[in-house]
């Protein structure tokens, strides 16, 4: 069971890979966000129903 938790990859490589993926996703989300969210209208929830 302890074999699952042994790092096969150096820690520096894991950190570098995580940072590259993070920044890639951050840039993609910003580019997509500018195009998509500029066209969307804000969603307004329905007012609560009044019970008599």
Between CA 49 and CA 31 the distance in angstroms is 39
pLDDT of residue 26: 94
**Residue 12 clears pLDDT 70, i.e. is over it:** yes
pLDDT of residue 10: 87
Between CA 17 and CA 13 the distance in angstroms is 6
Residue 1's SS3 state is coil
Q: Which residue has the higher pLDDT, 14 or 46?
A: 14
Between CA 6 and CA 15 the distance in angstroms is 16
Whether the predicted model's global pTM rises above the 0.85 cut: no
24-44 pLDDT, tens digit each: 999 998 888 766 666 655 666
């Amino acid at each position: 069971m302890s074999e699952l938790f042994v790092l096969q990859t150096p820690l520096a490589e894991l950190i570098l890979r995580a940072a590259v993926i993070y920044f890639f996703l951050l840039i993609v989300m910003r580019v997509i966000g500018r195009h998509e969210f500029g066209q969307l209208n804000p969603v307004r929830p329905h007012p609560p129903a009044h019970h008599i």
